[in-house]
Each structure stands twice: as C-alpha cells, then as structure tokens.
Amino acid sequence: MSNKYILLLLMLFSVDAHADDGYRLWLKYDRIQDAARRKEYLRFAGFVDLETPSSSIQMAAKTELLRGFEGMLGAKPAIAGRKTGGIRLLRDQHLPDEGFRIELKGGNLLVSGGSDRGILYGAFTLLRLIQTGQAISKLPISESPKVQLRMLNHWDNPLGTIERGYAGASLWKWYELPEVIDPRYTDYARANASIGINAVAVNNVNASARFLTAEYLQKVKALADVFRPYGIQVFLSINFASPKILSGLTTSDPLDPQVRQWWREKTEEVYRYIPDFGGFLVKANSEGEPGPQEYGRTHADGANMLAEALKPHGGRVIWRAFVYSPDPRGDRFREAYNEFKPLDGLFASNVIVQVKNGPIDFQPREPFHPILGAMPHTPLALEFQITQEYLGFSTNLVYQASLYKECLESDTYAKGKGATVARIVDGSVHAYSITAMAGVANTGSDRNWTGHLMSQANWYAFGRLAWDHTLGEADIADEWIRMTWTKRPEAVAIIKDILLKSRQIYVDFTTPLGLHHIMGQGIHFGPEPWLEKSARPDWTSVYYHRADSVGLGFDRTATGNNSLALYRPEVKQSWEKPETCDLNYLLWFHHVGWNKRLSTGNTLWDELCTRYYRGVEEVARMQAQWARIQPWVDAEMFADVAGRLAAQHREALNWRDACVLYFQTYSRMPIPAPYKAPERTLEDMKKIVAWYQLK
C-alpha cells in the first residue's frame, strides 16, 4: 500500500474519531486538556464508595461518576477499600430531601444527599464542575431544588407521532415495548437527572384512552423501570371520557358514583403496574377535549374526583388551565382567569393547576398570565414550552432561557412588590404545599434529540431553572456551551452572544412591539397576518392584530375589553398608557395609530418596519458570527447549525416581506429610509406561505 493511501486512511480515521452528532448532549465526558485541573481531580479518582450498595439510584450515581472520571481524567476508580483519595456517597438526614452537599473531608470528596436522589444530583453537579473547568476550591457546595416537581410533558401519541414535535418521531417505541428496551431510554433519563428533572408525563395531553389499558400500562411500566434509578416518576395524561370509552359506562360525570368507582379501580390497577406512579395530567374542556363541564360540573369537580382516587397512593392531579370558551365575543386572554379564579380554594389538597406562562398560547413574547398570583389557595404550576411550536420549529435558533427568565422575574404584586412569578410558583408567596414547573418537551427520535442542535440548550436551561430559578440565563448558556461545544474562550463568547440575542431577534422579524398570533394556521409556521377566516374567530390573525386605517393592536385597556384589569393595580398601571407601556407589550394592550410617535422617536409604522428589517439583519449577523467559530468546534455539528441558520435567514425574509407588505395596505405609508421596499409583492408572499399549509 502506498504512502498516499495510508495517509488517506489516517485522515479518514481521524475524522471519524473526532466527529460528533450531538447524541451525547451536554454529557460529553471528553478528556480534559487543562493538565493542572485534571491533576487536581485525579487526587480523588481512587474509588467510589456507596453507603447503600443496594440502592439503584446510588448505583446510577456511581456508574455516572465512573464514566465521567474515565472519560475526563483517564482514570478508572477502583472498588472501595481505601480510606482516602476517593469519592464517598452518603445520606445526610440534615439535608433537604433532594438537596446535596459536595465537600472535601478526610482526604476524600464527599457527596452527601438528603435522599438517594440528592446524592444523584450531587454526583452530576460534581461532574459538571469538572466538565466546565471549575477549581476544586469552589467546594463546599450545597444546593436544593426550589420547586418540588420538575417535569417534562411529552406530547407523544400511541402511533409514534408527536404533536408539535420537530425532531422526528416519538422516543417511545410503543410497538416494541415492553419486550424491547431501547438503550436510548436510559440516556434520556441520565440527561434529565443531570439537570434535576424528576418527573415525566410520557403521552400527549390530547390523550388517547388507550394509555389506561393493560396493553399500554405494561409499556409505561417498562419505561418507569428504566427511569426509576434516575429518580424520575412517571405521570400519564388521561382522557377524561375514559370510563365511557373503555368500559361502556353511559357517562363520565365526575359526581356519578359508578364513574368515581371506575376511576378508583383503574387507579389501583395503574399502581399495581407502577408502585411509584406520580399521577394524572389532565387537559379537559379545552380545544374539544372532554371534561366535567359537559355534565354541568366544574374543573374542581373533575380534578377532585381523580384526586380522591389517587390520594391513597400518594398520587397527584395536574389539571391544566389552558381553556378558552367558544364565545366569538370573548378574549382568550381572560378565559382561564374567568374559569379558574372563582374555584380558588375548592380543589383537593393533591391537585395542582398548571398554567401556561402567558395568556394566549406560548407566543414568542407574552405578558405573564394574569392568573399567576391570583389563586393564593390553589397550588399553581408553571408550564413553559421547550419545543418551538411558535418559535420556528427546528430551523430557527432561539434560546428560550431568555423567555423563561422574563416570565419568572415578572412581578405579580400579589402581596406587594417582589411577588414574582418565580416566587408564586415555588410557594414562597402563598405557602403552597405542592410546587411544580413543567416544560413541553422538544425531544424526538432524531439522533441529536432536538432537531436543531442549539435547541438542546432549551431542554438544558429549563431543567436548570426548574431546579433554581435564580440562575442567570448567561451563566446557564456558559455551562451548556462548555459542556456541549467547546471550552475555547473566543468561541464560548461568540456562541453565548448568539444565544442571548437570539430570542429578541426572532421576535423582531416575526411579532415585534407586542404583535401576537399572526402565524400560519394549523401548523403554526410562517407568517399569515392576513388570515381572517377559520373555525372560530380567535384562531385567525386579524382577531389579534386588529389592523385598520387608523392603527394596529388589540385594545385591552378600559377603552377596549378591559382584560388588563385582571392584573394587580401596580401591573396595570405600568401597561395602561401607550406613552409609558413597555414597547415589547405595546400592541398586546393598545390599538396605536400609525403616526403615533414612540419613545424611540419613530412613528409606530417606522418602528414596526425598523424591527422587521433589523431582525433579518441580525440573523445575517448570527450567520457571520457562527462562521468565525468553525476552527474550534466539531465539523459535523458546525455544518448542521450553519445550514439551519441559512434556512432561518430565508424564513426571516419571508416574515419581513409578508408582514410589512400586508400592514402597509392599512398604513399606506412608505418603507422608511434607509430600508428598501421588498422586491416581492404581497401576492407573491401569500403564494409562498400557502405552501406551508399544504398537508
């Protein structure tokens, strides 16, 4: 064999050895290049000792530490037997249940937990310190979660599809379960445990009753068995009409004795399969899903019936507040408040009401939901979307930690200044006995889990903020970049800058100044501000933007439908005048004249155009920034993101041209200098967008 062919083979081997496809997420235990830091931690690579060898969760912690130390330090810790130079995993009754402490003591690293879960979280935190190059001098570290249930909601269906899923098919191979256990289930559980997620609802809230049959309970049990060593409880989304669907009862009335008995027996069956089952997640009387209102009953009646069945087993009901009536004269903004506020204090003690972060539906930017802070006697869980239903699917780079933090830090003034959404949800303000935060998952069967590699950051950020909502979005981004992409300082700085600006960029080229719900119908993709006919008025775009010859925006003040009055006076005051309203929420609450001068010095029309054009320019800038990091990151991963950024630029141009041309038909004003009018016509854009909606 000639030297030329030998060289070619070596080159090919080198590429394969270093290629990365994103499968390992942020759990990349590659060799640490910092020799001093590696030496620092090698002092404790002698052994990993378990206090309770029979504990499956402690064994998972040990296995992870062995994997991490071998990968990052090149060491294989031995079986316990030495007295110093290793890691000891211990229970400490003085620590909070899921809390942990990492410290140096007696020549060892001690990872102590208030429970086995605490030990597991401490082990992953220790590995994160090593991955991100933190000095051992940072120890001791003590942490405990601020929220009890830190949960992923999967919208996965029995046939393997995912509603609003943009990363392939379902992770759960229902037709192979329970006999075939995909190793990917374990890697999924590891990733969740590493960021403190402790609960998973495995199926769609638009639930099939089939999940409560013996056929599917066996399959869910198999998943629960995989998740259990990683401290993860399984929940099921249920169809409220299951008694009628599965048993032939003539009713699903929650006050009917036969229905109540059916749920008690069905719940007992579930617990026979899964003894540590978490409970039921319920979408009822929303978007056509069945519920108690069909029988003249309230949400509390329905939730309490299920709570009664679950209570002997320690289970919980998570009842979603995403509801809106079919009244064409209503405003979805206020529907959940109107239905749930009167029920405050009427729910059973093991019921949590789950509220979306905003009052409409996971829009790129929303004011915080007015019900947050308005139910002091009912635990409220906060629901975020991790999947990018309204944020460009898997072709757009949008770092949602910025969105999460914006909501969490919003002040509800429920008990005066400082009653932030975060403090409502963690129970600090109203002393909730149960606390929870849920994220609609963005995982799928794609090899890289989330379709867009950068969307992995949203899964990671959700878990970190559910654990500790005081963490900063920049700090979370820094961790994730160092664990996932590179530790090269120049590259870290560039990627972080892209992430931190990405959400505002997306808002600018899609829904600036408080515009909302003007995306394509059905799949919720691409611009369709001209949409004026649908099955109901509040599924159209014109219902929300209300453009006319005078101006633009939805008047929710006292001169309009007064939905703004749902907030506390201090919040209302900050938004009630267009002159002082935060421009990010201006068109949420006001119908503003096209010639109205804003705080930027521009008229509404000029500012609207400026933001649409600036959004496109900023996507181009992200592309240029991304090109600069090519020498420092994996080639395969770099190319994947570069291609998606190019697609995002195309989509940003479509949004810009469609929206400025459409709204120009009402403003009848020219595109302001220095911007050039779109080369395409409005009719061109309508044809392009029409292709998005074809099935």
Among residues 125, 188, 124, the alpha carbon closest in space to that of 156 is found at 188
Cα separation, 59 vs 509, whole angstroms: 49
| DSSP-assigned states of every residue in 199-246 | EEE-S-SS--GGGGSHHHHHHHHHHHHHHGGGT-EEEEEE-TTHHHHH
468 is catalytic: no
Cα separation, 160 vs 163, whole angstroms: 10
Do residues 150 and 198 touch, judged by C-beta distance below 8 A?
yes
Cis peptide before 178 (omega within 30 of 0): yes
Rg (CA), the chain: 26
Q: Please state the separation of Cα 351 from the chain's center in Å.
A: 22
Q: How many CB atoms lie within 10 A of CB 346?
A: 16
Cα separation, 436 vs 233, whole angstroms: 13
Residue where the block lists tokens 């379902």:
170
If phi > 0 it is left, if psi is from -120 to 50 it is alpha, else beta; for residue 436 that is beta
Among residues 449, 585, 571, 563, the alpha carbon closest in space to that of 513 is found at 585
Instruction: Report the amino acid identity of residue 521.
Output: Q
Catalytic choice (21, 176, 215, 287): 287
User: Which is it for the CA torsion 80, 81, 83, 84, positive or negative?
Assistant: negative
287 is catalytic: yes
Beta strand segments in 412-462, E: 436-440
Catalytic choice (98, 331, 389, 651): 389
| DSSP-assigned states of every residue in 251-287 | ---TT-HHHHHHHHHHHHHHHHH-TT--EEEE--SST
Cα separation, 564 vs 525, whole angstroms: 28
Euclidean distance between the first and the last CA atom of the chain, given in angstroms as a whole number: 54
Do residues 39 and 470 touch, judged by C-beta distance below 8 A?
no
Torsion, Cα of 195, 196, 202, 205 (10° steps): -100
Do residues 501 and 618 touch, judged by C-beta distance below 8 A?
yes
361 is catalytic: yes
Catalytic choice (51, 276, 294, 361): 361
Q: Where in the sequence numbering do the catalytic residues fall?
A: 287, 361, 389
